[in-house]
Structure 1
């Protein structure tokens, strides 16, 4: 008679090898295509890879390969554990003179060995191929990829094996693997997206901050986290946590298998409470998604939305029962139905109360360190802020206590006068982000700011001179070492480029030194000219590829005017040279000209202030003055000229769409 050791070496290993052989072959084929072959194609320029930097080629292909690798690891776990789902195979395996611990050990040995051997073969091919590539592929990069890929796939494989002990069917096992990795993200995404359409004040995505409601969960969902880590510095803390999860799954796999009593295949779930909990959570996800969609289709008010959620829950319940049921006979249990319905009701009560409190919350002004506002005319910025040290932490943030107090008043007004939301559009009228003194961030976004004198008065109070410093792109540069190019861009597409490293550094220093003096002179004129006529662009390298940041810059700054005049005439840069009409006006006393310029159409503005149209001689004189750099934000002499880049929206009767600040430019000259 064969010894137990021989049986373990031959029968068990041969069985699990046969079960996973073809999926390993498929993984090898895909790996050869995604990595060695694709790298060779890129190297020979057989595809259009011009948009990729050499250093990013391997990273991009490695991320694609890792996705296939995780699918392969999950497949290994599914097919390895499929023996317990087939009664004849299960009886045969457990009739062998080996302990259960030996059976499970064989599963892990074959699975992890398959991962290591197949991936190591690809790494060996890459080590040879790298000498024939036209771009550099370091041996250390290949070895790092090998170790990282094996760690990720082994983690997925172990967790897949662990989930197999909760079911007796391959299809449901596959569902459980997807659920255990993505259910938290699906539930949170469904809850936050539904809340963002039901409650004014909630935003899924924040325009200028590096965090939003979804980011924390997305970044900690293992498959997504594993791919992101290819492009980012390794987060050792997160990897310690996931390694702990894998270790616990490994240990509990032996515990569950050792206590496993059910060797039959007629039950879809080994543990009924697990089925109930998963069913409840998945039904809630379906209820939120489907109920939200139905509510949006019918622009639902409260009563219609309640009906939509009830309908969505019922549909989701049926679908989950259908997917979780594996028998040919329909089984309906009243107890399961009541548990699911009761859980949904409790969840919706907590959901509504919690998000209502969230949208109503206004931080106390004395607990706020700094604040950033985007409120239409009072807004200071809308764009991308990179997650690195190139910009200072004060960029876009106002720390003036009086201003913070004004913002909290506007925020409270918006919270008290919220309007129903019926769309997924991310259009914001009032958006505020607080940096609290304890280091946390508070962000709220209101989609339809209420109209009225009170709202206009509060918004007007936010339009302060202090914003100039917070919003200025160049003044807030924190570290210029990674800058590749700095551009000054006019609304007419005229561009001045500074791409020499020393020149960039010199310009930034000059700009910062003279910033406050320029910003303090003629606040209103500074704002109008700098917002509408010119902006800046920073191009920087993030270590892998280049990124860009756009923002405001002071047109009247001597350093800016000097750089423009070196490249072209200032009058041409600011589109004055080609203007169809040029007017002049002299500010007198406490003039309301700037406020009217902001609100009134130009025809009304010109009539009210009797603007003087300049003839040919007058225009020539003004352009010569401008070309000499004699722009002055503190001057009381204004030059108003047509904005040739303005394209009105046809059919809109909106007075602000045709306001003079959009149809005409304004500058101050000496």
Structure 2
């Protein structure tokens, strides 16, 4: 009996040894490709740059700095290739029959393949780390990164490699076709983030005020390991993110083993080996393509009819493609009943959304619940700005609440148009929660609210960095005119700087809402540089007449803005007379040449008219008239336009 057991153990040991040899013969090349790719990306790049003149340009903060694109491709591609070729025996019937006829249990067979694959995946990474460690002292690499950075690179690279590899192993357990396994792996890794994006962009069509841009900026890249991996060179991973990825590695390993032990051997060559997964795949794909179609047509056309058309076309495309994958043929049998049931369920969901059971659309916090409020035109001013501004006085918070209620009440009138702007509102509540809303509105309809808010002392104070500047900490003030001209005014005298700051504060305090939304171009940018090397920027608006007088008194006016003396002449034309190809692109020189050849063009050389034009033009847009300036200094060209409300009298009279 004991002899029999020894013989059996000997046979199993021999089988295990042969399996390992088979694995190395079949996928050993993957490790070699992985190693050579990493050699080229890191050690070779370090040798080429750190030992030559390029050394001074190296700005490495980690090993991911060196050919990160190549590293990303290897980290995303190699684990999937390894998983596909390693478990190839599950997709080929003769190979599968042979492997499962061996005197070895399924769980042991799985561990053999999976663990050997993990070793094959890790070894190139460790070898590269050893090579970099050998080069570290001789090449003085401490100048660029630390030993800790090397260990971080090892840990992050191995973690992502294992996560992608085990995702590939898991999809290999549920699929009987290698190509499907590879495709499903990437779908599996991208699906959570992709679904969030599709839902996020579609929800505003059903939840009025849903802040899709804000939600989609809130680190959703962490929901896809592939996207997180593509950003690891500039976005460090958090502890929670790393913990979740490590947990997923263990879960995927255990889940893959469980699925493999319950997989039927005859499922070879089937797209999905478990019947339960087929409807999930089919309707999941239909749902995703439906959202994509709705997103495209809804945004492009901007109305509910095209939104529905997008949903229908997207759903049909997804349904048919899913059937082709499952039936492994383009000549498919259409299961129209399933499509009708799906359409009915989606129609019911859309119908239920109309009732707003959660009161999402009508929710406006009570004044007593609010700590402070952020109101701006863009979510970036809140989410990506460390100096995000807030309003906290009772008057302003009440005005914003009333504005919010008025926007909701006029929901049906706030139709999308090219003139619409965003009203982005964040209520930070006393209980620590937030209520975020984003609306596309025509601000002119709500100008009475914006005027009161924007002209308040609090709003001007929190939205203009100049009020945070300490006068004794100012190093210099630089004024640079807008346009293609190289000149600037610099103020360094302490008394002059103090006076300039005082005048600018007075201008801001006296400015009206109408002046702040004036579509005419500002005259110049003003940069206030402080002794701590921080800078505060603001614009010299057309309405800042006191500041202009002060600059003139100090003899700085000609250097601080573009004047008629800087321009040789200008052409003014009717915009309709120009042929501008906005699709293929254009240059100012081409437009100016057209202007010079038009019979109806005005050639302006009079200095007074040039000065009048300079203060009434906007960036090149769709204004009724355009003007092209020819600068004296270097013959450069600048094209601008007159908006309807800012057209000089002499231009209107000429084109009557």
- Aligned 1:631-650 pairs, distance under 5 A: 643=615, 649=621
Are residue 463 (structure 1) and residue 466 (structure 2) matched? no
Answer whether contact 1:73 1:156 (CA < 8 A) is retained: yes
Distance 1:355 1:317 in 2: 30
Partner of 2:83: 77
Q: How does 1:250-399 map to 2 (within 5 A)?
A: 250-296=253-299, 299=301, 301-326=303-328, 330-333=332-335, 336-349=338-351, 358=360, 361-374=363-376, 391-392=386-387, 395-399=388-392
Q: Distance in 1 between matches of 2:62 and 2:565?
A: 46
Cα 1:21/1:430, change in 2 over 3 Å: same
Q: Which runs of 5+ in 2 are unaligned?
A: 1-6, 567-611, 627-640, 650-656
Query: Once the 2 structures are TM-superposed, how far is the Cα of residue 86 of structure 1 from its aligned partner?
Result: 1.1
Matched, 1:158 2:130: no
Question: Residue 465 of structure 2 corresponds to which residue in structure 1?
Answer: 473
Match in the other structure for 1:38: 45
State which of 148, 152, 173 in structure 2 corresponds to 1:144: 152
- Find the aligned partners of 2:479 and 2:324 in 1 and give their Cα distance: 59
Matches within 5 A, 1:448-527: 448-449=441-442, 451-452=444-445, 455-465=446-456, 466-473=458-465, 475=467, 488-492=478-482, 519=505, 523-525=509-511
- The 1:383/1:146 distance shift into structure 2, 3 A limit, reads closer
Partner of 1:267: helix, strand, or coil?
Answer: coil
Give the length in aligned residue pairs. Answer: 566
Q: In angstroms, what is the RMSD of aligned CA positions?
A: 5.0
- SS in structure 1 at match of 2:421: coil
1:617-653 alpha-carbon deviations (Å, 9 max, x no partner): xxxxxxxxxxxxxxxxxxxxxxx99649855756438
Deviates more, 1:53-62 or 1:250-259: 53-62
> CA 1:536–1:177 in structure 2 vs 1: closer, same or farther (change >3 Å)?
farther
TM-score (norm 2): 0.71
Shift of 1:119: 1.0
What does 1:470-619 align with in structure 2 at a 5 Å threshold?
A: 470-473=462-465, 475=467, 488-492=478-482, 519=505, 523-525=509-511, 532=522, 569-572=555-558, 574-575=560-561
**Cα distance in structure 2, aligned partners of 1:104 and 1:386:** 46
Q: In the alignment, is the contact (CA less than 8 A) between 2:79 and 2:121 conserved in 1?
A: yes
Deviates more, 1:55-64 or 1:101-110: 55-64
Deviation at 1:355, TM superposition (A): 11
Post-superposition offset of 1:556: 14
> 3-state DSSP class of the match of 1:439?
coil
Deviation at residue 262 of structure 1 after TM alignment: 3.6
In structure 1, stretches of 5+ residues that fail to align are 206-210, 376-380, 541-545, 581-639, 664-670
Provide, for residues 35-59 of structure 1, a one-character-per-residue CA deviation record: whole Å limited to 9, x for no partner: 2333444446788996x73437843
2: distance between equivalents of 1:576 and 1:66?
A: 48
Q: Deviations over 1:90-125 (max 9, x none)?
A: 111111111111111112221111121111122223
Work out whether residues 168 and 267 of structure 1, in 8 Å CA contact, stay in contact via their aligned partners in 2. Answer: yes
1:10 aligns with 2:3: no
- Per-residue deviation, 1:145: 0.7
The corresponding residue for 2:602 is none
Q: 1:81 Cα shift? A: 2.0
1:174 alignment counterpart: 182
C-alpha deviation, 1:318, in angstroms? 0.3
Q: 1:400 aligns with which of 393, 415, 437?
A: 393
Contact 1:417 1:450 in 2 (8 A): no
Provide TM-score, normalisation by structure 1: 0.70
In structure 1, C-alpha distance between the alignment counterparts of 2:461 and 2:647, rounded to whole Å: 22
The equivalent residue for 1:242 is 245
Rounded Cα–Cα distance in structure 1 between residues aligned with 2:543 and 2:391: 22
**Distance change >3 Å, CA 97–CA 352, structure 1 → 2:** farther
Match of 1:439 in 2: 432
Q: CA deviation at 1:402?
A: 0.9
